[in-house]
Amino acid sequence: MAFDALAERDMEDLLEEDSATGRDREPLVCAACGARVTSSRERVDVNGAHAHTCTNPHGLTFDLGCFGVADGCRPVGEATEAWCWFPGYAWRICVCSQCDAHLGWSYEPATPRAGETGFFGLIFDRLTQPS
């Protein structure tokens, strides 16, 4: 079931860790091919929130979740600060490592500073739970 088909409460449940075990309830996989992309354990807050709604210059709106690690994503192209939704970062498109479906963007600090890391902004409806 894709994220866009989940109720908001169900999405929050999916992204939270299982409090009894401290482990992920389930990994998050590519909706196109089922390859593992990341997990709820990798969820991070950026600018005070995990979830963001962003609109690009072409008028396309995306609902994103921020993740510190997304091993199933492959960044493509050169990083740019142009039209970046997160000031201070440069972005690159990220695709599924398995099928090349567009999953979101990787963000890296525009000016590297000690201890500062990047993150992934992944499109919720491009992710799903494993079957």
Sheet holding 51-55, edge to edge: 51-55, 61-67, 119-123, 102-109, 89-96, 73-80
Tokens (6 digits) for 31? 């909706």
Number of domains the chain contains = 1
Q: Amino acid identity, residue 29? A: V
- 47: domain CATH number is 2.170.150.20
Q: What is the pTM (predicted TM-score) of this model?
A: 0.81
Q: Would you give per-residue pLDDT tens digits along the chain (131 residues)?
A: 334 333 344 445 555 544 555 545 579 999 999 999 999 999 999 999 999 999 999 999 999 999 999 999 999 999 999 999 999 999 999 999 999 999 999 999 998 877 788 999 999 999 998 87
Q: Which domain holds residue 84?
A: 3-128
Q: What is the pLDDT of residue 4?
A: 39
pLDDT at 70: 97
**Distance separating alpha carbons of residues 67 and 56, to the nearest angstrom:** 20
The set of residues, in sequence order, having a beta carbon less than 8 Å from that of 87 and lying 6+ positions away, is none
What residues form DSSP beta bridges with 80?
A: 91
Comparing C-alpha atoms, which of 48, 24, 44, 45 is closest to residue 36?
Answer: 24
